[in-house]
Structure 1
Amino acid sequence: MAMEDYGMEPADAGPRETEGALRRLADVALLPGSLTSPQERSILDSVLAYAVTRLDATMRLRLAERLAPQADAPRELALALALDEIEIARPLLTEGLPLKDGDLIQIAREGNDDHRLLIAARKGLSSAVADMLIEGGDAALIETLLANRTADLSHRAIETLVRRSAAEPEFQAPLLARAELSVRLAQLMFWWVPPSMRLEILNRFTVERRHIHSAMEDMLDGRLADTALDIALSVVRRPRAIDKRRLAHMLGNGPTAHTEELTVGLAREANIRPETMFRILKDHGGEPLAVFAKAVGMNRKEFGDLIVAAVDMRKGVGLPAKADLERIGELFDTISTDRADLALHCWDTGLANEVLANGSGDD
């Protein structure tokens, strides 16, 4: 029966009494686990999570700072404070031990941009949380995440960002600095990055394959009936020199009227797709041309003739400047045949896989 039924007025607790009660509850909730039972701690956690907004901002900040270093701190309360205004949430979002991956994902979904930025910079961020941030993240958030070297980025996340970097170049340099970037994805990104990054990719993401070639010996020389597997294995086969007589014939056939013949002929000699060869010949940067020439064993004169043929194909569009010729000439001189062959077949494999994926998607 209510007190009013006995003619008694309830005693309203004022703000000071309310705050005092909540502080006492918080003190009890933060006692070592050995002093309270799990059930009691759970009750206190739920009550405090509901009522913590009654405390002023200064008290909420102090409470967040007390919770942050305690792995076994009340999680509901930690979650409520982590969703509070950003200055209160900061200690928990940057290094708060009570928050698990699921909590961080919830905060990222329910919080604002400031909450997400702090999560993206959080030390030791897991790939599950990073994936969620990338799915809906803007450029500033993703740049913060890429700059966080302690964050674990999944292969799927890196591939998503590599593809986005074609339209969002601000991702390119941070992606090149990530340890998770694979040879395949670096060579995919090669096609849309500026010349300095192209050279970095060719330096860092190509390798001499001596151990692979030694282990496999002549087992990979023949073509396989399984097209997809044959494409995949092309990146580990030994380089194959072009037939110089046929090369001289192709390059001496004249300019633009023989574009298709030259493209198909060079592709056949290098065992790559005509689409890949066409892309190499049409690329205005010129680095792919130097890589192709070195991969198939051309000498300097033959490389020069190839440049002339490629320029003729462009019909006056995107003609190389002197600096371009010096840059690709230096690349031709410094890259080894084996490393060039690896890059060439990474490009071809990437294009072939795109075609196969698009084809299977249409069925």
Structure 2
Amino acid sequence: GAYVMFWWCGAEERRLILQRFAVSREVMQTSVEDVFALAAAEGWDDPVARKALQFIERRQRNRAAIEKSPFADLEAAVMAAATQGLSRELVSEIGYLSGVKPLTAAKIMGDPGGEPVAILCKATGLTRPNLRALWRSMRRPETTADGAVHPDWERVQLTYEMLAVDRAQTVLRYWNWSLSSALTPTLLRAIRDGEDEAIDEYSAPERAAALALADNFGR
């Protein structure tokens, strides 16, 4: 719930959510180390086990996406965005390389506050210069008219510094799950058309996705 509320909270509320609810998955990872080996030996055939293990595994980047990508790695895609500007194709590619769906990547990079970009960078192991490059690719300000650090950029940098990688991954993976796994063509149509009563009939994950994405459809 708190991670969904994050999208329409102010800066201070967002900071509190990240401080209080961005939990570590270390205990779970240690507890199921043998399960990873068993699942891999079985070819990841069990969809429920696969989804659960994907949520807590340590690796965030998508190795399969890297093999298919025109870019050598995520860093190269970010630098291309900084040089060329952030196109729809680059947003999708950065999302794939980061281990999230294009819809999730678009929501993150279109967020007015900017904190989700810091979370994406921290979760995927991108460095501070990479964060700056991605910020610039989004044409977001770094300084104010009088030359001071822009409040948005300062807040984004603080968000990057305050979160450990593991906790950032927890947030990013929940967003990816809540924004993409529950969406169906019918739900997308209900979001687009502003059918609040219809949305109320959906499950909790589906309603969470609808609430988080409503602004993107002009509601």
Which deviations, in whole Å up to 9, do the C-alpha atoms of 1:264-310 show, x marking residues without a partner?
Answer: 22111221111000111111101100000000001111111111112
Sort the Cα spacing of 1:348 and 1:302 in 2 relative to 1 into closer, same or farther, 3 A.
same
> What is the CA distance between 1:202 and its match in structure 2?
0.8
Structure 1 residue aligned with 2:181: 353
Which deviations, in whole Å up to 9, do the C-alpha atoms of 1:160-189 show, x marking residues without a partner?
Answer: xxxxxxxxxxxxxxxxxxxxxxxxx11111
Q: Report the residue type matching 1:204 in the other structure.
A: R
Whether 1:291 and 2:119 are equivalent positions in the alignment is yes
Whether 1:262 and 2:90 are equivalent positions in the alignment is yes
Which deviations, in whole Å up to 9, do the C-alpha atoms of 1:308-346 show, x marking residues without a partner?
Answer: 11227xxxxxxxx70111111011011000000000001
- 1:49-198 equivalences under 5 Å are 185-198=1-14
The CA distance in 2 between the partners of 1:195 and 1:275, in whole Å, is 23
Task: State the TM-score, normalized to the length of structure 2.
Answer: 0.66
- Please, what is the CA RMSD of the aligned residues? 2.9
Sort the Cα spacing of 1:358 and 1:288 in 2 relative to 1 into closer, same or farther, 3 A.
same
Q: 1:202 aligns with which of 6, 15, 18?
A: 18
Sort the Cα spacing of 1:251 and 1:224 in 2 relative to 1 into closer, same or farther, 3 A.
same
Whether 1:329 and 2:157 are equivalent positions in the alignment is yes
> What is the CA distance between 1:237 and its match in structure 2?
1.9
Whether 1:250 and 2:77 are equivalent positions in the alignment is yes
Contact 1:186/1:205 (<8 A) preserved: yes
> What is the CA distance between 1:231 and its match in structure 2?
4.4
Structure 2 residue aligned with 1:169: none
The CA distance in 2 between the partners of 1:271 and 1:227, in whole Å, is 17
Whether 1:236 and 2:56 are equivalent positions in the alignment is yes
The CA distance in 1 between the partners of 2:123 and 2:59, in whole Å, is 7
Contact 2:114/2:152 (<8 A) preserved: yes
Q: Report the residue type matching 2:132 in the other structure.
A: G
Structure 2 residue aligned with 1:12: none
Sort the Cα spacing of 1:228 and 1:219 in 2 relative to 1 into closer, same or farther, 3 A.
closer
SS in 1 for 2:100: coil
The CA distance in 1 between the partners of 2:91 and 2:50, in whole Å, is 21
Q: How many residues align?
A: 167
Sort the Cα spacing of 1:306 and 1:226 in 2 relative to 1 into closer, same or farther, 3 A.
farther
The CA distance in 1 between the partners of 2:111 and 2:34, in whole Å, is 34
Q: Report the residue type matching 1:251 in the other structure.
A: V
Sort the Cα spacing of 1:351 and 1:271 in 2 relative to 1 into closer, same or farther, 3 A.
same
Sort the Cα spacing of 1:355 and 1:261 in 2 relative to 1 into closer, same or farther, 3 A.
same
Q: 2:28 aligns with which of 204, 212, 215?
A: 212
Higher Rg of the two aligned structures: 1
The CA distance in 2 between the partners of 1:298 and 1:339, in whole Å, is 15
Q: Report the residue type matching 1:304 in the other structure.
A: R
Gaps of 5+ in 2: 141-148, 189-201, 203-219
Gaps of 5+ in 1: 1-184, 313-320
Contact 2:91/2:106 (<8 A) preserved: yes
Sort the Cα spacing of 1:195 and 1:218 in 2 relative to 1 into closer, same or farther, 3 A.
farther
Q: Report the residue type matching 2:181 in the other structure.
A: N
Sort the Cα spacing of 1:350 and 1:249 in 2 relative to 1 into closer, same or farther, 3 A.
same
> What is the CA distance between 1:206 and its match in structure 2?
1.2
Q: Report the residue type matching 1:236 in the other structure.
A: I
Structure 1 residue aligned with 2:213: none
Identity across the alignment (%) = 26
Q: Report the residue type matching 2:158 in the other structure.
A: E
Bigger relative contact order (CA 8 A; separation at least 6): 2
The CA distance in 2 between the partners of 1:346 and 1:325, in whole Å, is 24
Q: Report the residue type matching 1:255 in the other structure.
A: Q
The CA distance in 1 between the partners of 2:139 and 2:51, in whole Å, is 29
Sort the Cα spacing of 1:255 and 1:228 in 2 relative to 1 into closer, same or farther, 3 A.
farther
